[in-house]
Structure 1
Amino acid sequence: MFEVVTRRARQLFGRPRFIGYLQHCGGSERAALEFYRWNNAMAAAMWEVIGYLEIALRNALAARMSDRHRRMRRRGSWLDDPFHELDPHSRDDILSARRRAVRKSKPVGDGQTIAELGFGFWRYLLARRYSSNLWPDLAGAFPHAPDRARETVELPVIRLHDFRNRLAHHERIWTAPLRELHDEMLRLLAFVDQDLSSWVADQSRVAELLQSCPQPLPNP
């Protein structure tokens, strides 16, 4: 049975994808398949944590943008971007999010539009181009950050966005600094809400999986 599963794994997962596992496991197909299974379990555990972070981050930033819009006595929604403060790519993201909501027969309000916006939208909302106009307000989304420097938030968000893309494309992640990335997720979440970060840390399976890894990791 194992031989059949291994052969099918090579065929369905693709030899170029599987060969890295084989090489790391000294050519043992049994060990490589188990390591592949472990990588998937770790990816799922990381996905859980980054999912909490993504939702908290987007809602915290959206709330600050909404508060800013009201304080400046502007009509409609900040998503309408009446003064063209957002760059063209961000405005296109909002338009695409609204179109997706329509295709799903959902109401095209702020809540549904925000839910349709990807992590990349929020990452670029923290970019240097917004340092003077948006960041002074967005900084309030991170009340527990050690300072109000934009880079304190933007740099970990960039790293985690890139890692999230690796997860989404089912790439191998055992070559990444998993413990460091996990800690960074929790630290960034604590910038937003310390209690929520502690709760997510208690639920996380990452530490347990790191201890049960069947192979030595290059970045433990």
Structure 2
Amino acid sequence: MVVWAPDGNYRHHPDAVAPYRWSAELAAAHFETIGHVEVLLRNFISSRLEAASAPGTWFEGQNRYHFSGPAQKSIDKARRRLTGPVTSGRPVAEPTFDFWRFLLVKRHEGAIWRTLLPQGMPHYPAPRSRGAFEGHVDRIHRARNRIAHHEPLARADPDRENRDLDRLWDDLRTVGGWIDPDAPDWIMGKSRIHIVRPLRPGMMLRSGATPTREES
């Protein structure tokens, strides 16, 4: 039963399926929690841009917000999928996390980041750096993509695994709390991460296992 681990990472475990199953459950728990933060982030960004624009037009604000080429393509794609009247809320769920994450890059600092502040995040501590906020969101985004591509969150080195997962947990709480101080308690209270992590099987990966792309 090692067909799910062609590189042999689990071959030396007494039950080769156990670590694979745990890794899948760990990924699913994180994907669910990341999803809550993603929805919070996209609703926050869209509501702030909407507040600064004429009703129902923020996604048409190329002249105002200077969307990058990929961002504009995401907006155009979302609008093509819609039928009936287009309102500000309808395109929000269509773009991927990539779209929202890349609205936070330096290119958009003048037009978009400054629109998100100050009323939008009164609890974001000084100096209210765009780069710091983007850094947390970027790590969440990269973890989400790893999970979506079925790359394991488990590491050959359990200490590194714990550091990475602890940092991701902190990123999720931090971004949620900066947007809404009540969000971390609600999101983490619904999360299964703290239930799944302690169930990690011993001898997760074989000695000398080939590292994943981000480990190399």
TM-score w.r.t. structure 1 length? 0.80
Match of 2:81 in 1: 100
Question: What is the CA–CA distance in structure 2 between the aligned matches of 1:46 and 1:117, rounded to whole Å?
Answer: 20
Question: What is the CA–CA distance in structure 2 between the aligned matches of 1:20 and 1:138, rounded to whole Å?
Answer: 44
Q: Is the 8 A contact 2:139 2:171 kept in 1?
A: no
Match of 1:61 in 2: 45
Question: What is the CA–CA distance in structure 2 between the aligned matches of 1:195 and 1:137, rounded to whole Å?
Answer: 22
Question: What is the CA–CA distance in structure 1 between the aligned matches of 2:135 and 2:151, rounded to whole Å?
Answer: 22
Structure 1 residue runs of 5 or longer lacking an equivalent are 1-5
CA displacement, residues 106-154 of structure 1 (integer Å, 9 cap, x when unaligned): 6543322111011111111111011222211113433322232101210
Give the match's secondary structure for 1:115.
coil
Runs of 4+ in 1 over 4 A off after TM superposition: none
The amino acid across from 1:113 in the alignment is: P
What's the offset of the Cα at 1:101? 2.9
Q: Is the 8 A contact 1:61 1:138 kept in 2?
A: yes
Which structure's CA Rg is the greater one?
Answer: 1
Alignment equivalent of 1:168, drawn from 129, 132, 148:
148
The higher-RCO structure (CA 8 Å, 6+ apart) is 2
Question: What is the CA–CA distance in structure 2 between the aligned matches of 1:151 and 1:14, rounded to whole Å?
Answer: 37
CA displacement, residues 35-80 of structure 1 (integer Å, 9 cap, x when unaligned): 110011111110111011000000000011111114xxxx750111
Q: Percent identity?
A: 32
Provide the alpha-carbon RMSD of the alignment. Answer: 2.3
- 1:40-189 map, 5 Å: 40-70=24-54, 77-83=57-63, 85-102=66-83, 108-140=86-118, 141-147=120-126, 148-175=128-155, 176=161, 177-189=164-176
The answer to whether 1:15 aligns with 2:10 is no
Instruction: Report which of the two has the higher share of helix.
Output: 1
How many residue pairs were aligned? 196
